[in-house]
Structure 1
Amino acid sequence: MIDIKRNVIFSLENRKKNGVPVVENVPIRMRVIFMGNRVDFSTGFRIDTSKWDEKKQRVKNGCTNKLKQSSSDINTKLQEYENNIQNIFKIFETQDINPTTELLKTEFKNLFKDDNEKEKSSKKGFLKVFDEFTKESGRQNDWTYSTFEKFASVKNHLIKFSTKLSFDLFDEKGLNDYVIFLRDVEQMRNSTIGKQIGFLKWFLRWSKQKGYNKNLAFETFKPKLKSTPKKVIFLTPKELKKLREYKLPETKQYLERVRDVFIFCCYSSLRYSDVNNLRRSNVKKNHIEVTTVKTADNLLIDLNNYSREILDKYKDIHFEDDRALPVISNQKMNDYIKELAELAGIDEPVHETYYKGNKRIDTITPKYALLSTHAGRRTFICYALSIGIPVQIVMKWTGHSDYKAMKPYIDVVDELKASEMQKFNLL
């Protein structure tokens, strides 16, 4: 997948009348800069220069324009435009498209076509409908890169499954055949197959609502997929200390920044997407304020000595887009975390059980090979619960909205407490 660097800037147009700059009712422009290109879009809004916040690139709170449009309404629409542009680029990236300025203009324009202009024929090609689904759902739900990648993967599996894809194909027999294909050809675990079927159902449900899909077999299709709870991979306090204090060899100094970012996640609960999006403006004296990428939750996360120390370490170093920390791509970071943890000796054998069909498979893997950026968030949650911080407070920091999402972590902590209690038997 390609990575397209871009920047979206909102500003007032530079207009003059009789040689004097216009300061009233000035058009708001959206400028998109990418790959050496620059494209300007009209937002359709105007505002006086005195009511425009150039730093925030938004209308000042409480202001209105000549048409009595409020700052809230205008700023919401500007944010929507920016989200749309970002989603278009995400699609370009997942489909390995190097866009031209004309292609960007066309895709942006297509977002605002009247729904009546869209083809409603059920004969429309299956894959064309799938592409429409990802584009429209991605825009409406503000999908992350990860979600676009998941559905790009779903599309690839469907293409491999059949050269004659159609909605009629996915009757009960076709759905069962697809499950067998994912198990035997794609070699997926039952838990992964369950997710893939869920993604397919999402698409088929959307297609039904749009009038493309008349085959409703998916609504009652529930394959029996034996599975076990997913293992929660996290660092124990001893392992975290070991990783934190490990002295890097001279030839491995490139791992220092990766370790700092990962440890920051361990002490702040941030996902990769949120630490990557963390700006200096989000960092306050005793806390950070973030709007999460995945759920758009507004979180206030208190700093502790470790998280504050890492932020202070990089406060005077400039990073692209005014990021607070030296974050690299998620894939590279995952590779380096495994390398770092192996060097530090975090190699406790982890036993996992999963199923392929009815076949039970047991594996033993060194912990370092299972670590990823998300293990930082899991480490924070497990450690916070183990030292007695109430679940409700942890959920305020992490953004979890219900107890169900926290249950796997609570179960892990309960297991840890039970194993610790057994130490009394050795006395």
Structure 2
Amino acid sequence: MIKTFFYLKTDKQNKEGESPIYAKIELQGKTTTLSSGKFISKERWVFTNKLRNTLRLNPEKNCKMAMELLENKIECIYFELSKSNPNTTLFDVKNKLNGKITLEGDIDIIKLFEKHNYYFERKSIAGERSKASLQKYNRAKDLLLIFIKLKYRKTSFNLTDIDNQFIYNLETYLKYESTFKSKVGISHNSVVKYFQCFKTVCKYGIKRNLIRSNPFLCYDEKLVIQDAIFLTKDELKRIEAKEFSTERLNRVKDIFLFSCYTSYAPVDVEKLTKNNLIKDSDDAYWIKTHRAKTGIKSNVPVLLPVKRIIDKYAHLEGDKLLPTISNQKINEYLKEIADLCSINKKLTHYVARHTFATTVTLGNGVAIENVSSMMGHTRITMTQHYAKVLDVNVKNDMNKLSEKFN
């Protein structure tokens, strides 16, 4: 609970020999002070018991009224801010009271990160953002804090002090010096993605009038787009035809094939329930959901291989559409599946998503706009990262062109 006390700052006086009345605000063991804008002589302050006695002089009545209004305003501001941010500080209350916004020099990057990640955590709990994305932002904050501690011997860093040298020193640290589980350094693409986190956190601050500018905008390194690993039609059929001796491998195979024919990422597959399976007016089945990562709609028609897998697990207790297996375990078992099916590729669950974009859809003539919609992308360029242009598509298009010339 926030509390306000008033005292006389006797070391200061105006021309009339009066001293300013100050408010001392206390919250969770911390205090801050600010001027009430009113003055009174030390004698009258003592005589009236800090203006608590019955007052007869109008100037003193005005002072008391101003103090009561200020105390009430402080409480109202605190409760207002606490509704949207339970971690409201005295700093926030004082800035709001003075009609000021928090500028770059008043807030450090770690504090801004904490505000953003608390906001993101609430969205994650509500199912609007994925837990994996929250972990990424928390990891980005931790890396930044470690860098600041090592290079600057501090636990915070004001945004106004972040310059180009800071940013490129941070890049060097992440790429060549940071350690995680005995591994030194982070790959180029991962570093670029962490800087995307830094930029997003600052955008959050700008939108909420916490800061005015984004110091990370000068970082312009791009992702190095590599050819996505995907399965060919032959490799896909090889896995479909294979029956394994253990139930765990058969389950992982089914979940993997389900993703190959729907594009759903691991976190999305895990959340699917029988309520996501919809039959339209033409008696065709659809899986309708929103991507956990972005919240974007991702509706996919149920192909025959998918319908077989769904029917196979229709007996499951509860409302889950498929068995639940951790992404870590799935990737571990997929290595076994690749070996047993003589597939010389590093299989991960995300290879299924690439396979959907490349082999299942684009390879069969589905328009990239429709592929983008089913994958829950907001831009075609995002789909192009997954979808490799197949030689067969080029050949088919060129055959059509040849027919016109002939």
TM-score category (smaller protein): 0.5 to 0.7
Q: Who is 2:332 aligned against?
A: 335
Q: Is the 8 A contact 2:263 2:357 kept in 1?
A: yes
Q: TM-score, normalised by structure 2?
A: 0.62
**Secondary structure of 2:389's aligned partner:** helix
Match of 2:378 among 393, 401, 416: 401
Q: Write the distance in 2 (CA, Å) between the matches of 1:263 and 1:377.
A: 10
Q: Is the 8 A contact 2:365 2:393 kept in 1?
A: no
1:97-129: per-residue Cα shift (whole Å, max 9, x none)?
Answer: xxxxxxxxxxxx966458986743655564343
Q: Write the distance in 1 (CA, Å) between the matches of 2:113 and 2:314.
A: 45
CA spacing shift, 1:244–1:217, aligned 2, 3 Å: same
Q: Is the 8 A contact 2:199 2:214 kept in 1?
A: no
1:222-254: per-residue Cα shift (whole Å, max 9, x none)?
Answer: 3456x6323211111111111122232x3x432
Matched, 1:129 2:112: yes
Worse overlay, 305-314 or 230-239? 230-239
Q: Write the distance in 1 (CA, Å) between the matches of 2:378 and 2:299.
A: 15
Shift of residue 179, structure 1, vs aligned partner: 0.9
1:354-381: per-residue Cα shift (whole Å, max 9, x none)?
Answer: xxxxxxxxxxxxx1x2x22222122112
Match of 2:277 among 274, 280, 283: 283
Q: Who is 2:268 aligned against?
A: 274
1:67-110: per-residue Cα shift (whole Å, max 9, x none)?
Answer: xxxxxxxxxxxxxxxxxxxxxxxxxxxxxxxxxxxxxxxxxx96
**Secondary structure of 1:130's aligned partner:** helix
Q: Write the distance in 2 (CA, Å) between the matches of 1:154 and 1:316.
A: 42
Q: Who is 2:200 aligned against?
A: 202
RMSD: 3.2
Q: Who is 2:146 aligned against?
A: 160
Q: Is the 8 A contact 1:261 1:327 kept in 2?
A: no
**Secondary structure of 1:293's aligned partner:** coil
CA spacing shift, 1:177–1:295, aligned 2, 3 Å: closer
Matched, 1:178 2:170: yes
Q: Is the 8 A contact 1:176 1:223 kept in 2?
A: no
CA spacing shift, 1:133–1:402, aligned 2, 3 Å: closer
Q: Who is 2:254 aligned against?
A: 260
Q: Write the distance in 1 (CA, Å) between the matches of 2:275 and 2:213.
A: 51
Shift of residue 138, structure 1, vs aligned partner: 4.0
Q: Who is 2:356 aligned against?
A: 380
Match of 1:325 among 322, 327, 330: 322
Q: Who is 2:76 aligned against?
A: none
Shift of residue 314, structure 1, vs aligned partner: 0.7
1:142-199: per-residue Cα shift (whole Å, max 9, x none)?
Answer: 3211111111211221132121130255211111100111121132232222212121
Shift of residue 344, structure 1, vs aligned partner: 1.6
CA spacing shift, 1:128–1:387, aligned 2, 3 Å: same
Give the AA of the match of 1:391: I
**Secondary structure of 2:390's aligned partner:** helix
Shift of residue 136, structure 1, vs aligned partner: 1.6
Alignment coverage as a number of residue pairs: 286
Q: Write the distance in 1 (CA, Å) between the matches of 2:382 and 2:356.
A: 15
Gaps of 5+ in 2: 1-80, 93-101, 179-184, 280-284, 398-406
Q: Who is 2:15 aligned against?
A: none
Q: Who is 1:58 aligned against?
A: none
Shift of residue 278, structure 1, vs aligned partner: 0.9
Give the AA of the match of 2:116: F
Q: Is the 8 A contact 1:282 1:290 kept in 2?
A: yes
1:307-331: per-residue Cα shift (whole Å, max 9, x none)?
Answer: 0000000101214xx1110021122
Q: Write the distance in 2 (CA, Å) between the matches of 1:199 and 1:270.
A: 24
**Secondary structure of 1:376's aligned partner:** helix
1:333-358: per-residue Cα shift (whole Å, max 9, x none)?
Answer: 222222322222111xxxxxxxxxxx
**Secondary structure of 1:136's aligned partner:** helix
Q: Who is 2:8 aligned against?
A: none
Gaps of 5+ in 1: 1-108, 348-366, 422-427
The sequence identity of aligned pairs, in percent, is 24
Match of 2:230 among 212, 231, 234: 234
Larger Rg: 2
Q: Write the distance in 2 (CA, Å) between the matches of 1:129 and 1:326.
A: 39
Q: Who is 1:363 aligned against?
A: none
Give the AA of the match of 1:273: V
Worse overlay, 335-344 or 305-314? 335-344
